[in-house]
Chains A and B, each alone.
Chain A
Amino acid sequence: MEASPAMRTICATMRKEMIELRRNRAGLLVLLVMPMALVLVVSLVQDNVMRATGESSIPVLFVDQDRGSLGASVARALRASRGIDLIEAVGGEPLTEAAARRLVAHGEYPFLMLIAPGTSEALRARAERDAAALFEPARDEPGPDRPAAQAVAGLTLFFDPAIQGSLHAAVEQALLRAAAAAEARERGTAVVRLLARRLAVLGGPAFPAGPRLDLEPGDRLPPESDTILGLAQETAGPWPSRQRPTPAQQNVPAWTLFGMFFIVVPLSGTIIRERETGTFRRLMTLPVSPAGLLAGKLGAYVLVCLAQFVLMSGVGWLGLPWFGTSGLVVPPTQWPAAAVVALAAALAATGYGIMVGALARRHEQASMFGAVSVVIAAALGGIMVPAYVMPPAMQAIGAWSPLAWGLTAFQDIFVRGRGVGSVAPAVSMLAGFFVATMTVAAWSLRRWRSAE
């Protein structure tokens, strides 16, 4: 069966672009090897960095369902802690547990501190029981009708698995410090209350042998490890509690996007070369549609972007464990969603490359502008530094970066374990970006044609 003229144009152009690409070894090196090197180096470096460091200013949603003294005490301690921004209302509305969990699950906030109802009361009861045991140890002995004291549950840290390890550790420590301060306050209060009651009746029948106040360490004080308040942790993704995604889950998609958008350099170069050598002029005098020529170019470079995605995923999956660090782990059910995002990102990156090539006058302009704009978009989009640690103004600008849309979608899949439905908004944004860039490119190429 004879192929249609449009299909022949597309296939011929794709074939020609592939031959040119194959011969542009430096360009291929930039496209394929550089991102792989970035994945390896950055993942290996971050593997240590993420475990070892840091304090950072982090927004923490705070939902106090207890409404007792504990919540006030923890909130006070956290507010006093530098670098934690405690948020109790979003958009003017006080947070509910469900709303707050949703915000964290969608990656809009990294942490939720939840205090369950009755936690203050349980803490108080436990502190009073421990205080009483100081004076009457027999009362605290576990028995058939008196089980051993358990930690008071009620504090839960719900977190986005996409959060960096160092930041998670910082928030966890701040919460534990705040809980310990609240616990110490409750213990002290319980002891003072009990002492006051006992002293009030000093000498009476309550003290047949006189008061015992010899509170030496190692005697009846609880050991240092015996804290009353426990901190439960839950992740928003498919990961078991306290287990977190590996650096590869975050780095592979991030640097894949970065590499994909770097296609702007060779792609814009081919378009400008066509204008400089006069081949564009020749093409415009052939009986073919310019849309078919663009589609052929687009098809070839989208395939290159998808090859990048496959290669980078392969490096994350097989290469990183070979270097002794955790590799990329993606359940097979998540791959279709990842493929959809990869295709949308490939279209957006290729559209951007064609637009830059159509707008720029010279190859130097395109390569400089293209490369620098991608690095800026990557930085703003959270590829290099997580968006939530950026100043609010930068976060607002970064929200318009196509790399941010791609990263959010990939993190939803690789880190938060969500499906195709959840990435639809980001995929739509990437597709919209592709349409916009191709429209600008078509307009600009028409302008070049009439300037010939």
Chain B
Amino acid sequence: MTVDEVLRVRRLVKRYPGSAAPAVNGLDFAVHPGECFGLLGPNGAGKTTAISVICTLLRPTSGSVEVCGIDAQRDPVAVRRVIGLAPQDVALYTSLTARENLEYFGRLCGLSGRTLRSRIEECLALVGLEDTSEKRVSAFSGGMRRRANLAAAILHAPRVLLLDEPTVGIDAQSRNLILDNLRALRAAGMTLVYTTHYMEEAAQLCDRIAIIDQGSLVASGDPRALVGRVDGCANLEDLFLRLTGTRLRD
């Protein structure tokens, strides 16, 4: 891992027990500090599995993951200190308020006292929930839940933020706000690793992308350069369909 890499994935293979094919098959990529890296692929391509291995939820079958120079297999707890995860599900306690959720997750991340309180205020303000922080999450709309989910992921100011489809199923306003938030975080120096099905979103936000299919890397690089390299591709979605096909992936 070089000094200009904050995340390095090497020949990563993950095969689930009883599964015929590996979910991730020889994935290889690096992410630089402060960049937004998009991990794109159709359903079942292996995006969530790759994120799960990177965030130490799963152990790889082979290959390695290094985050900020820390081997994820050797020292998963140290990796967890420098990453934040906004999972695909809204991973919050719905019977708690947004603030109570943030207090709980903040304490688990080692924050306390004034630091915790000020970080909660900052995160709530960033995602536009400062006025509804005392409402229970069960009373939140889908967009509010997604924003609270993001706030919980960035509370401890992680160096690498892993986002697993953070804008799925929400209204345009909330999506716009989340994308603005992500730009602000990137501008503040946070590295983002981002999975999405929305190609337009990826084209707007990501400095570089990796398109994966059936667990393997299909293409990677600057999204505009990748589109320009293939004749007849007007945008990233065209390129994506060209590379992964139009067959339904259910």
Interface positions of A (Cβ within 8 A of B) = 3, 5, 8-9, 11-13, 15-16, 19-20, 23-24, 277-279, 281-288, 449-450, 452
Q: How far is the CA of A281 from the CA of B89 in the complex (A)?
A: 9
State the 7 A-B residue pairs at the shortest beta-carbon distance, nearest first.
Answer: A278-B89, A278-B91, A12-B107, A282-B91, A287-B80, A16-B104, A23-B95
B contact residues around A282 at 8 Å (CB): 85, 87, 91, 105, 152
Chain A residue nearest to B111 (CB atoms) is: A8
Chain A residue nearest to B113 (CB atoms) is: A2
A contact residues around B112 at 8 Å (CB): 3, 8
Q: Which of B38-46, B50-58, B196-204, B235-243 has 4 or more CB atoms under 8 Å from chain A? A: B50-58
Contact B107 A285 (CB under 8 A): no
Contact A281 B87 (CB under 8 A): yes
Contact A286 B80 (CB under 8 A): yes
When the two chains form the complex, which single residue of A13, A20, A279, A286 contacts B109, counting CB atoms closer than 8 Å? A286
In the complex, whether B100 has a CB less than 8 A from a CB of chain A is yes
A contact residues around B56 at 8 Å (CB): 284-285
Which residues of chain B from 60 to 105 have any CB-CB distance to chain A below 8 Å in the complex? 77-78, 80-81, 83, 85, 87-96, 100, 103-105
Question: Contacts A277-B91, A286-B105 given: A16-B52 contact, CB under 8 Å?
Answer: no
Chain B residue nearest to A274 (CB atoms) is: B93
Contact B95 A279 (CB under 8 A): no
Q: How far is the CA of A13 from the CA of B100 in the complex (A)?
A: 11
Number of interface residues of B (CB under 8 A): 33
Contact B109 A16 (CB under 8 A): no
Nearest CB of chain B from residue A175's CB, rounded to whole Å:
60
When the two chains form the complex, which single residue of A3, A16, A452 contacts B58, counting CB atoms closer than 8 Å? A452
Contact A288 B108 (CB under 8 A): yes
Q: How far is the CA of A119 from the CA of B80 in the complex (A)?
A: 82
- Given A12-B108, A23-B96, A287-B80, 17 further pairs, Cβ under 8 A: A3-B112, A5-B110, A8-B108, A9-B108, A11-B107, A15-B104, A16-B93, A16-B100, A19-B100, A277-B92, A278-B87, A279-B92, A281-B87, A282-B85, A285-B56, A286-B80, A449-B57
Q: How far is the CA of A449 from the CA of B107 in the complex (A)?
A: 22
B contact residues around A24 at 8 Å (CB): 95
Q: How far is the CA of A24 from the CA of B94 in the complex (A)?
A: 11
When the two chains form the complex, which single residue of A8, A279, A284 contacts B107, counting CB atoms closer than 8 Å? A8
